[in-house]
Structure 1
Amino acid sequence: MDPASPSPPPEPPSEVARAVALEPADPLSVLNQAFRDAYAARRDAVLSRMGPVIAQIDDVLILRKGGQRFEAPARTRRYHAYKVVTHVPLALYVLLAQQPEALDEDTRVRLRTLRGLITASRDGFEARGLPAEALGRQHRVLDASLALVDDVLRAGRVAREDLATFIHAQVPDLLKNAEDAARDQIETMHASVEAWKRQMTPDERGQLRAVVAASHMSRPGNVATQYFTLTLGEHWEGRFHEESQHPGKRVLSSEATFDEAAAFSLLATHVLDARTSSGIFGEETRMARDLLADAAERILAEMFKKAPEPEPS
């Protein structure tokens, strides 16, 4: 689907959903909406009074400070060049790994399309300003990919051993592309953030928070989260981990939220919930988990005669 195309209208609620949900005119529905409105108003007030906050959303860093909004790059176009080339052999492997040995027509069409796109992309790489070593690497990956496509189309079949040889031969270049993409993002972000920090007072730098838009799959070891964790002096958990979401943290991941307002709203929600939870329950993290979570654990332990087994740290 074209990402620019409008989203389809939401499906109407099913008969079961209508039977379970409160009617909009039900006094309880009205009361619940009043709670939501009050909470949203307080969250907006918290955000307006917070110190400087930075959101990383795709290629852009957004700073809100003192009622003003600023933008700076989080990456350059080199990041995308490395990432797209890395996707090419991965796409070919995914397309062909589960393919019966004899190509079906759909796969033939996809391979021909990919061949044209790879060729068109390869011819323009000299103008992208990559270092000589990196430029040679992109050509090497794309040329190997083209050779595989041509061999498969010519033979009309996929040889499993040839596919395995192809993808394993690409791994060193793919990992080097990943390293160069990570370096581009980290160095670009660092230049942007340091320029902003130089314009802040020591007190503002001490209050600075960050929120990172990340998909669920990319949260462990997310580049931006690791960077902000270090530059803001938090506990760095490294490449295998999702950085802690403890209320005291100055860095948050906004999972599957790539909207500026939603990202900043999440940060304010995090702060407001910690304050509210501490005041009501005497536990700062209580509202960071489902309000039903503790009761659910007790009920399930009794129902299934089983105790929870947390992962070893």
Structure 2
Amino acid sequence: MALEAADPLSVLNQAFRDAYAARREAVLSRMGPVIAQIDDVLILRKGGQRFESPARTRHYHEYKAVTHVPLALHVLLASRKDALDEETRTRLTTLRGLITTASSSLDTRGLPADALERQRRMLQASLALVDSVLAANRVTQAQLASFIHAQVPDLLKNAEDAAKDQIHTMHASVEAWKRQMTAEERGQLRAVVAASHMSRPGNVAAQYFSITLGDTWEGRFHEEDQQPGKRVLSSEATFDEPSAFALLATHVLDANTSRGIFGEETRMARDLLADAAERILADMFKTSPEPPGTSTP
């Protein structure tokens, strides 16, 4: 049961939280240049100033939107064994109209010729599947499997083009900023990436910043760990600017505090109860933790 707000210990704890937040803001104000990637925007804070630059172009979203169409159809139809129910027919009918409208807009988007043809091909295949399923009022799993497997090469090529769009756009923005920095500022530069938990391993922006800022790059296998001196962080499920920059300040403040109190720079990066919980559970269940990748399937 939580403490009441008026409980003296609760009031004392809130005073600690307020002091911590004030100290975090002070740390952030004295940090070197920091960049946050939040959706389509890169934000640089340097010397009390704020700058914005693009992280992606419209093409990034166009590739992803078309990619989602065959995926959506697969999700909608994957569990269908009998005749379509009314809700599914309604959804398919709605999707058919949306696919038709989207297809007619492709020529206005300025896509490269090969990419344009790929989007047409994916939308036409999706429309053909919808028409077939609506006409038969059912779909076989063999039919659905054949459809989605045929789309995989185009799906992956769209993913590649979306990644290329983001990397090249970010690189142009970051390099333009770095040219305006001193060597000392470039050496201090840090970055935080707004990402959902599921997209963190291999996140495009995190991979890019890891390379350009000299962090350890682990490619598509990377998921944020709390290394001392880490210059690239992921802000999980945080998509607002103050929270993203606060994460960077928290990382620095906690590392300094943890080093001073525990003699271990990353101690406050995990739950304060974590070590005790591990010991208690090991004793209670007569077992021991297994390092990642060592468990038996």
Structure 1 contact 247–270 (Cα < 8 Å) conserved: no
For 1:181 and 1:101, how far apart are their aligned partners in 2? 37
Match of 2:42 among 52, 61, 71: 61
Q: How many residues align?
A: 294
Q: Which residue of 1 aligns with 2:234?
A: 253
Q: Contact conserved, 2:39 with 2:194, CA < 8 A, in 1?
A: yes
**Number of the residue aligned with 1:5:** none
Give yes or no for the alignment of 1:160 onto 2:141: yes
CA displacement at 1:239 relative to structure 2 = 0.7
2:118 maps to which residue?
Answer: 137
Cα displacement (A) at 1:312: 4.3
1:1-313 to 2 correspondences below 5 Å: 20-312=1-293
- Please report the RMSD computed on the Cα atoms of aligned residues, expressed in angstroms: 0.9
Long gaps (5+) in structure 1: 1-19
Amino acid at match of 1:178: A
- CA distance in 2 between counterparts of 1:278 and 1:95 reads 52
- 1:77 is displaced (CA, Å) by 0.1
- Contact 1:55–1:61 (8 Å) recurs in 2: yes
SS in 2 for 1:217: helix
C-alpha distance in 2, partners of 1:212/1:89?
29
Counterpart of 1:8 in structure 2 is: none
- 1:245-303 deviations in Å (ceiling 9; x for gaps): 32311000000000110000011000000000000000001000000000000100111
Name the SS for the 2:219 alignment partner.
coil
Aligned 8 A contact 1:236 1:243 in 2: no
Match of 1:14 in 2: none
| Separation (CA, whole Å) in 1 of partners of 2:78 and 2:153 | 20
- What amino acid does structure 1 have at the position aligned with 2:82? E
Deviation >3 Å, runs of 4+ = none
**What letter corresponds to residue 141 of structure 2 in structure 1?**
R
Which SS does the other structure have where 2:53 is aligned?
Answer: strand
Quick one: distance in 2 between partners of 1:101 and 1:198? 62
| Secondary structure of residue in 2 paired with 1:235 | coil
Q: Which amino acid aligns with 2:186?
A: R
Deviation of 1:101 after TM superposition, in Å, equals 2.7
Identity of aligned residues (%): 80
Q: Is the 8 A contact 2:226 2:266 kept in 1?
A: no
Q: What secondary structure, in the 3-state scheme, does the structure 2 residue paired with 1:270 have?
A: helix
Contact 1:62 1:70 in 2 (8 A): yes
Q: TM-score, normalised by structure 2?
A: 0.98
Whole-angstrom distance in 1 between the partners of 2:292 and 2:140: 41
- What's the TM-score, normalizing by structure 1? 0.93
Shift of 1:241: 2.2
Once residues 23 and 162 of structure 1 are traced to their aligned partners in structure 2, the CA distance between those partners, rounded to angstroms, is 60
CA separation in 1, counterparts of 2:48 and 2:27?
Answer: 13
| Separation of aligned partners in 1, 2:260 and 2:63 | 49
Structure 2: gaps spanning 5 or more residues: none
Alpha carbons 1:247, 1:271 under 8 Å: kept: no
Q: Distance in 1 between matches of 2:156 and 2:96?
A: 23
Contact 1:221/1:240, CA 8 A, preserved across alignment: yes
